[in-house]
A and B are shown apart, each in its own frame.
Chain A
């Protein structure tokens, strides 16, 4: 079974600064995907960024980037130039690739509440 661990229940950052959210996972699969989702007070889960395990290059989406360390099973999210609208709960999630036991099923971490202060 796969597990996802987010060790930071809460984080805070000043507007315009950089913050890094941590995530570790455990799996015996070799083909999988990792995700960061954002859940603002509106409740809707929004995909922030995704990483395919077979890709060595770290994914980047505008101000959001990841540090994917496959051997260490670590997948941290860096938010640069933090904005007030980034305030939300952030979830790290895992899914096996096609044919894997957890294909189609996201396994989530417990979440990190991020507060951006003006």
Chain B
């Protein structure tokens, strides 16, 4: 069974540009979560999508946005990139009811570098 897949693995962008990160959940999972892992700041929750709707959002500015498609895959968009957006972005997926089964499964992340 394929795990959570994220693309691209690495992404280099210039300050002010937009970045789009993609995530495909495990088959059968309807929820997708996004986390930012920045050096010195640890892992911080960004967004949770379930069945196409945003369910919860972390303390990030509106230039961090995303969406979930009918096939449950998801995109994270970061507009007007700033140098401090450089981080590893992790996606995870789960069944609709998180507490059923093993909970979250994470992907290997997209390393975003803003220059």
Contacts and interface: CB of A to CB of B under 8 A. Distances in A.
Contacts, number: 55
A31 B31 CA distance: 21
A83 interface: no
A115 interface: no
B88 A106 contact: no
B99 interface: yes
A78 B99 CA distance: 23
Interface residues of B, number: 26
Given A50-B103, A103-B98, A106-B104, A44 B109 contact: yes
A104 B103 contact: no
A104 B31 contact: yes
Interface string B96-115: 01110011111111000000
B11 interface: no
B108 A107 contact: no
Interface residues of A, number: 24
- Interface majority SS on B: helix, strand, loop or mixed? strand
A43 B108 contact: yes
Given A104-B33, A104-B56, A91 B107 contact: no
A64 interface: no
Interface stretch (B16-24, B42-50, B67-75, B77-85): B42-50
Q: Which 7 pairs across A and B sit closest by C-beta, in order of nearness?
A: A45-B106, A108-B43, A105-B45, A44-B108, A104-B48, A43-B109, A110-B42
Given A45-B104, A106-B104, 11 more contacts: A33-B103, A43-B108, A44-B109, A47-B103, A91-B43, A103-B56, A104-B31, A105-B33, A105-B45, A107-B45, A108-B42
